[in-house]
Chain A
Amino acid sequence: MDAGIYVESLFKRYPKGSEVLHGVDLRIPKGAFFTLLGPNGAGKTTLIQILTAVMDADSGTFSVAGFDPRLHFQEVQRRMGVASQSNEVDLSETPAHLLTFQGRLFGMSAADAAARAVELLTAFHLDGEKDKKAGTLSGGNLRRLHCALALVHRPEILFLDEPTVGMDPMARDTFWNVITRLNREKGVTVFLTTQYLEEADKHASEMALMLAGKIVYAGAIAGFKKWVNPADNLSLDESYLEYVKREMVV
Chain B
Amino acid sequence: MRRLATIVATVVGTGAVASAAAPVASGAVREYWVAAVPAPTWNIAPNQRDAMAGTMLSPSQTVFPTIVYRRYTPHWGHPIRNVPGGSSNQDLIPGPLLRARAADRIRVHFKNLDTLYKRPHSMHFHGVHYKPSSDGAFVPGVSGRDGDVKPGQTWTYKLTAGSDSVGVWPYHDHSPSMDDSILGGMYGMLSILGPGQKRPDREFEVVFAPMGDFQTIDGRAFVGNTPVFTAITGQTVQWDVMAMGSEHHTFHVHGHRWVDRDGRDVDTQTVGPAETFAIRWREEDPGTWLYHCHVESHMMAGMIGTYHVRRR
Q: Do A and B come from one complex?
A: no
Which A residues are closer than 8 A to B by beta carbons?
Answer: none
Which B residues are closer than 8 A to A by beta carbons?
Answer: none
